[in-house]
Amino acid sequence: MTNSPPGTTCLCVLPIKVELRLGIALYMFFALVSELAQEIASGVFMNQSQVHVMGANAATEDPEKTIVLIDLVPLGARFDNTTTLTVFERFWHKQVIINPTDFGNYDVLYVQYPGLPSSPPSAPGNLNNSLSNGNDQRLHPLAADIGNHRETKSRGIIVIIVLSSVFALILCAGAALVIYFKLRNHHHLTEASLTPEKPADSAVAGSRLESRPISASPSFSSSIVAYKGSAKIFSLVEMDRATQRFDESRIIGEGGFGRVYEGILEDGERVAVKVLKRDDQQGTREFLAEVEMLSRLHHRNLVKLIGICSEEHMRCLVYELVPNGSLESHLHGSDKDTALLDWDARLKIALGAARGLAYLHEDSSPRVIHRDFKSSNILLEHDFTPKVSDFGLARTAIGEGNEHISTRVMGTFGYVAPEYAMTGHLLVKSDVYSYGVVLLELLTGRKPVDMSRPPGQENLVTWACPFLTNRDGLETLIDASLGSSIPLDSIAKVAAIASMCVQPEVDQRPFMGEVVQALKLVCKEGSEFNESRSFSQDLHIQDAEIISRASLDMDAGPVLSTEQFTASARYDTLDASGSFRRYSSSGPLKVGRTERNRERGLSTGSSSEHCGLQRFRMDSE
């Protein structure tokens, strides 16, 4: 389900989902999204506002090609059967003309909508139109009407029938040989899977990895054993019971990885069951990556992995259920009107999500780059405590996190950092850029990419950045649903943080530990903000001076410069050349054991939240 096009009644609608493979690289596609939407709209006889480009990734088999996910949105609640079938056939028959000069040749991977067949339609031809007898009875190709034409049967038809039969026989024999050799090569696996097994008690089945075959691949099985950590192993029988045989009424989300179902375990615990949709090598890598990451990552702002299920080609991840939906749903989706986020809730979400990322970047061992941080991957508790989810694309950072990883570009359109999209160089600060986009979503209530906006306003970062420098600009971009009584000074400080996070130059972005410190100064929330009395007294005057640089002078005009906020948020110093020099990487400074213990006693935060304080001490000394 998705939202209706702009200008129509606001309701949830059922889109036609299309996946295309374009013959251009991902970084070239970024500048052509609007053109693609326009050409598809023309090809299927719809308005451009009905074509939503939902995401893009480099193709697994060929990084020089791009996989594009598209939603075609009806003007009403759903499409009629005629329109649906027309769209289906026009895509599969390549009747949707997409400019090959800009996009190269394209392939259709799927066209999905309730009632449509799962496979492409038969190729059109003249046989279907010509093969009928006088009584409008359909005849099979290459067959003869023996009752009426027995005496006139020609040798040519007999030859065709014989050759067709021989050819079909050869095909059947070849297929039988292929199946035979596959069965022989995997005899030890198929024999195990075909042996009848009495269903085990659920408590025992949940704790025994060997009770059922996990996968057709022994290496995959050994990987699960190595990666699962403390996660529980569930049987497919248990997953069936928990989700009522994966009933569609229990679907609570769907993405590139697969569907997410709400489930109830036998002990009454409510869980989210994420089912892997892709059964290829890339899907296996994403599954193992998420199992391995979540089994060793533990933080209050990260979603908790409870267990896994992998048998009979079904792969599931079982999480704690985070019941209040995603941040995306509250900002842009079905929860927007029923559970409006006020400014305090948005600040709480921003700080909690920043803490989760800071833990990944600076406190986990080894450090982790999320690579797909976005509002739909921030899940909310009932009190709006955020939890970062979806680690299928996560990668381990190199060293202290300031060295890049060369990798195929993955992620979600609108959140991908420019250096990663253009070069494939992945850094922890690529996540910082994505976090900055989420901050802009919280400030503006807009989507990262919205092709229904007027020209020049489709990309959130490009549109918002010029408005972050003065009061009039901020009043233009602030989400109107927040009302008029919001604290503009607090808005200005968060806008300054967002502006720094989405800087095009990597070196100009802060680390997440520094973002946490800056947001704590904005929030000033009880124990989350207060350090020990003596230390807070020492910093009180400095903090007030530092954070005020990022606020707006209501009469002075533009005051939010990059240099001012860099100085305030990072606690760095300016050298003689006018450029900032850092004292450390994303992790804590290497200080003595006594000094570290004394600092850890100051608050309950993670070590990443102290890096700014440590840096301040070095400056003052």
Quote the pLDDT of residue 103: 92
Q: 460 and 499: one domain? A: yes
Quote the pLDDT of residue 574: 33
| Alpha-carbon span 323 to 271, nearest angstrom | 9
| Alpha-carbon span 446 to 141, nearest angstrom | 56
Confidence of residue 401 (pLDDT cuts 50, 70, 90): low
Q: 417 and 554: one domain? A: yes
| Alpha-carbon span 595 to 361, nearest angstrom | 23
138 falls within a domain: no
| Alpha-carbon span 533 to 549, nearest angstrom | 24
| Alpha-carbon span 568 to 566, nearest angstrom | 5
Half-sphere exposure of 398 (CA within 13 A, CB side): 9
Q: Which pLDDT tens digit goes with each residue over 243-291? A: 999 999 999 888 667 789 999 999 999 999 999 876 656 667 777 777 8
CATH code for the domain in which residue 46 is found? 3.30.70.380
Read off the DSSP letter of residue 610.
Answer: G
Percent share of the chain, pLDDT over 90: 38
> Residues 377-406: what's their mean pLDDT?
83
140 falls within a domain: no
Q: Which pLDDT tens digit goes with each residue over 451-463? A: 999 988 999 999 9
Structure tokens at 311: 């048998």
Confidence of residue 5 (pLDDT cuts 50, 70, 90): low
Give the closest residue to 4 by CA, choosing from 69, 71, 80: 71
Read off the DSSP letter of residue 573.
Answer: E
14 falls within a domain: yes
Q: 11 and 51: one domain? A: yes
Confidence of residue 538 (pLDDT cuts 50, 70, 90): very low
> Residues 341-352: what's their mean pLDDT?
95
CATH code for the domain in which residue 216 is found? 3.30.200.20
Q: Which of 184-193, 196-205, 554-563 has the lowest mean pLDDT?
A: 196-205
- What ranges make up the beta strands (E) of 153-311? 232-233, 251-254, 258-264, 270-276, 305-311
Is residue 558's pLDDT more than 60?
A: no
555 falls within a domain: yes
Q: 348 and 214: one domain? A: no
143 falls within a domain: no
Q: 293 and 344: one domain? A: no
Q: Which of 114-128, 137-151, 423-437, 501-515 has the lowest mean pLDDT?
A: 137-151
Is residue 206's pLDDT more than 50?
A: no
Is residue 375's pLDDT more than 90?
A: yes
187 falls within a domain: no
Number of domains in the chain: 3
Query: Interior CA angle at 235 toward 230 and 239, to 5°?
Result: 100
182 falls within a domain: no
Q: Which pLDDT tens digit goes with each residue over 18-49? A: 999 999 988 788 778 888 999 999 999 999 88
> Residues 556-577: what's their mean pLDDT?
38
Q: 390 and 371: one domain? A: yes
Please provide the distance, in angstroms rounded to a whole number, between the alpha carbons at the two ends of the chain: 57
Q: Which of 320, 354, 380 is the last residue of a domain?
A: 320
Q: 336 and 307: one domain? A: no
Give the closest residue to 448 by CA, choosing from 484, 521, 403, 498: 498
| Alpha-carbon span 133 to 136, nearest angstrom | 5
Query: What range defines the domain where residue 98 resides?
Result: 2-112
Q: Mean pLDDT over all residues of the chain?
A: 74
Q: Which pLDDT tens digit goes with each residue over 131-173? A: 334 444 433 333 333 344 444 456 667 778 878 888 888 888 8
Q: Which pLDDT tens digit goes with each residue over 49-93? A: 899 988 888 888 888 899 999 999 998 888 999 999 999 999 999
CATH code for the domain in which residue 451 is found? 1.10.510.10
Question: Which residues are known catalytic residues?
Answer: 372
Q: 206 and 244: one domain? A: yes
Give the closest residue to 72 by CA, choosing from 105, 50, 43: 50
Residues 315, 278 contacting (CB under 8 angstroms):
no
537 falls within a domain: yes
Structure tokens at 29: 């596609």
Binding site residue list for ATP = 274
Q: 432 and 557: one domain? A: yes
CA–CA distances in Å: residue 534 to residues 70, 537, 598? 56, 5, 12
Query: Interior CA angle at 396 toward 410 and 448, to 5°?
Result: 35
Residues 58, 16 contacting (CB under 8 angstroms):
no
Binding site residue list = 274
Q: 407 and 486: one domain? A: yes
Percent share of the chain, pLDDT over 70: 66
Higher pLDDT, 561 or 254: 254
Q: Which of 31-40, 269-278, 321-330, 529-538 has the lowest mean pLDDT?
A: 529-538
Q: 550 and 418: one domain? A: yes
Higher pLDDT, 190 or 46: 46
Q: Which pLDDT tens digit goes with each residue over 85-133? A: 999 999 999 999 999 999 999 999 999 998 888 767 654 443 343 333 4
Q: Which pLDDT tens digit goes with each residue over 585-600? A: 333 323 333 333 333 3
Give the closest residue to 445 by CA, choosing from 344, 340, 305, 560: 340
Residues 82, 16 contacting (CB under 8 angstroms):
no
Quote the pLDDT of residue 124: 46
Half-sphere exposure of 281 (CA within 13 A, CB side): 3
Structure tokens at 567: 């100085």
Quote the pLDDT of residue 205: 32
Q: 226 and 358: one domain? A: no
| Alpha-carbon span 495 to 474, nearest angstrom | 8
Q: Which of 112, 146, 162 is the last residue of a domain?
A: 112
Quote the pLDDT of residue 365: 82
Q: Which of 259, 288, 320 is the last residue of a domain?
A: 320
